[in-house]
Amino acid sequence: MHALPNRRQVVGSLVGGSLLLPGIVSELLAADAPAPRPDDPLAPRPPHFPARAKRVIFLFMTGGVSHLESFDPKPQLARDAGRTHNGRTLLGPQFRFARAGRSGMAVSELFPEIASCADDLCVIRSLHGSHFEHFQATLGVHTGSLTVKRPSIGSWVSYGLGTENQNLPSFVVLAPHLPYAGTQVWSSDFLPACHQGIRLLPGDEPIRDLKRRSPSEAVQEMELDLLSRFNRRHGEARPSDPLLAGRMRSFETAFGMQREMPEVLDLSGESDATLALYGLERGQTDGFGWQCLVARRMAERGVRFVELIDSGSSNNWDSHGAMKDHIPRARSVDRPIAGLLKDLKSRGLLDDTLVVWTTEFGRTPHTDGPTGRSHHPYVFSSWLAGGGVKGGTVHGSSDDYGYFPAEDPVHLHDFHATILHLLGFDHERLTYRYSGRDFRLTDVSGRVVREILA
């Protein structure tokens, strides 16, 4: 068996092919270790103040979950069902609510497993946005902007905190299908490209081309080292190109992912009890349970922001014709989400992991189809758990029919400001200068909802 070539032999063979400039050849042959790296945009950085949460798992339900059938019971709407209100026919809640946990929080029968975690949830019943179309509302939830491209919340967190694990991305998205607004949901936009979300797909190959093509890790490391030196020389003449710096850093992350990501995605070492907690069969590599378990494994390995998107722009929560269409959607996510919360808690991870459950808007109190509802951004429900929030609590309320906030309204900018606060950031100071202006996730408004902080 032939010995693997060393660095000098690899470089020498390239010289023989006249592929390298003499100056770079001399530099490589003289180097016993890689050249000092420039400032790493993904190096771990401290937040503005001590944080309650170190990471976020962001659960996004595509299509618009009805607040009236999930976490905001409306007995008055039930009594007045069928009446005309402002020229529209009121539709009563289509599912029963029951009290759950020691807190007595009211949760729909659609989510019996999540209801078992009620004492860990902080439900916001007064969340509101500004747009009733899926595309724009989805952008608003993720970027704080309705129409203009802006960085995703995950990219902002990556930019602010860097990564705890240099072999894994700081921002990962588990999405079986593209959501409304497509890849802009996890785009870094004008932030350095290394802060863009890395998308994983369910199946046997969650990340394409993850397997090494070089004959060995040692050879690949030498190849990448050579490429890195060329890139650094190229970059020295273009110091103001953030895309170039991001691409250079992405090669290093990709090499690290080849080492560590296969182990993260290998669920064979999980116990039967853990798989059952998420509703998974052994060997299963798809479904929301798979997404949730992989998210837990990433969280415990230092990934800062993991987003789980439950479906795409079809076959989602957009129940215009009949609210019973919520049933299969809820059934697919209820047990996995509860399993995630219980698993994080049992491992001591929920204390410093912020779990966020949200959607782009709610549904109208009046009918759309015979027993369906239309888009409703004016008030809807979301919840947070762990990471410094008060469990077993409800913040804010909507009016008797669920049309508008009645108490303690929370705008999406407030929602984002609170998430950043729990991560240790003053949302007004987490900024990035672009085109002569300091941009931030919360645009020019937003307040921290301190009432929900533990």
Interatomic CA distance for residues 437 and 62, integer angstroms: 32
Tokens describing residue 123: 């439900």
Say whether pLDDT at 55 is over 80: yes
Q: How does strand 393-395 pair with strand 121-128?
A: parallel
Spatial contact of 157 and 305, defined as CB atoms under 8 Å apart? yes
- Residue bearing the bigger pLDDT, 236 or 99: 99
Residue 12 lies in a domain: no
User: Rounded to 5 degrees, what are φ and ψ at 420?
Assistant: -65, -40
**C-alpha span between 384 and 427 (Å, rounded):** 18
In this prediction, residue 10 carries a pLDDT of 44
**Least-confidence region, from 64-78, 130-144, 191-205, 327-341:** 191-205
Question: What is the band of 31 on the pLDDT scale with cuts at 50, 70, 90?
Answer: very low
Sign, CA torsion 312/317/321/325:
positive
Count of helix runs (H) and strand runs (E) in the chain: 12, 19
Q: What is the mean pLDDT of residues 378-406?
A: 98
- Range 428-437 burial, b when 16+ CB lie within 10 A, else e: eebebeeeee
Binned at pLDDT 50, 70 and 90, residue 247 comes out as low
Which residues are paired to 302 by β-bridges? none
| Confidence band for 407, pLDDT divided at 50, 70 and 90 | very high
DSSP H or E run through 86: none
How far apart (Å, rounded) are the C-alpha atoms in residues 185 and 152?
A: 6
187-196, 221-230, 299-308: which range is least confident on average? 221-230
Q: Which domain holds residue 152?
A: 55-208+278-452
pLDDT of residue 220: 63
| pLDDT score for 314 | 77
Check: CB of residue 362 under 8 Å from CB of residue 66: yes
- Structure tokens belonging to residue 69: 């059938």
Q: Is residue 23 part of a domain?
A: no
Q: Provide the pLDDT for residue 40.
A: 82
| Tens digit of each residue's pLDDT (9 = 90 or more) over 253-306 | 655 667 788 899 999 999 999 999 999 999 999 999 999 999 999 999 999 999
Closest among 363, 366, 359 to 375, alpha carbons compared: 363
Share of the chain above pLDDT 90, in %: 74
Cα–Cα dist 165/27, whole Å = 30
Q: What is the pLDDT of residue 233?
A: 76
In a domain, 241, yes or no: no
d(CA 154, CA 199): 12
Q: What is the pLDDT of residues 305-327, one digit of tens each?
A: 999 999 877 789 999 999 999 99
Query: Where do runs of H (alpha helix) occur along 212-286?
Result: 217-236, 242-265, 272-277
Residue 202 pLDDT greater than 80, yes or no: yes
- Three-state DSSP at 394 gives strand
Confidence of residue 225 (pLDDT cuts 50, 70, 90): confident
Instruction: Look at 14-23, 165-174, 175-184, 222-231 and tell me which has the smallest mean pLDDT.
Output: 14-23
> What's the rounded Cα separation, in Å, for the pair 90 and 305?
40
Confirm whether 445 is domain-assigned: yes
In a domain, 196, yes or no: yes
For residue 386, being part of any structural domain is answered with yes
Task: Report pLDDT for 62.
Answer: 97
- Residue 41's pLDDT band, with cuts at 50, 70 and 90, is confident
User: Where does the pLDDT of residue 218 fall: very low under 50, low under 70, confident under 90, or very high at 90 and above?
Assistant: confident
pLDDT of residue 117: 98
Q: How many domains does the chain have?
A: 1
Q: Say if CB 98 and CB 115 are below 8 A apart.
A: yes
Phi, psi of 70 (to 5 degrees): -130, -70
Q: How far lies 148's CA from each of 139, 225, 389, 424, in Å? A: 9, 38, 31, 27
Is the confidence at residue 204, as pLDDT, over 60? yes
Answer whether residue 225 is part of any domain. no
The CATH number covering residue 446 comes to 3.40.720.10
Within a domain: 264: no
Give residue 34's pLDDT band: very low, low, confident or very high (50, 70, 90): very low
Higher pLDDT, residue 104 or 18: 104
| 167-to-134, 164, 226, 228 alpha-carbon distances in Å | 35, 9, 19, 17
Give the chain's mean pLDDT. Answer: 88
Is residue 33 predicted with pLDDT exceeding 50? no
Percent of the chain with pLDDT strictly greater than 70: 83
Read off the pLDDT band of 364 (50, 70, 90).
Answer: very high
pLDDT for 21 equals 43
Residue type, position 7, single letter: R
pLDDT of residue 232: 73
CB-based contacts of 237, cutoff 8 Å, min separation 6: none
d(CA 198, CA 366): 39
Question: Residue 398 in contact with residue 72, Cβ under 8 Å?
Answer: yes
Interval 85-108 mean pLDDT: 97
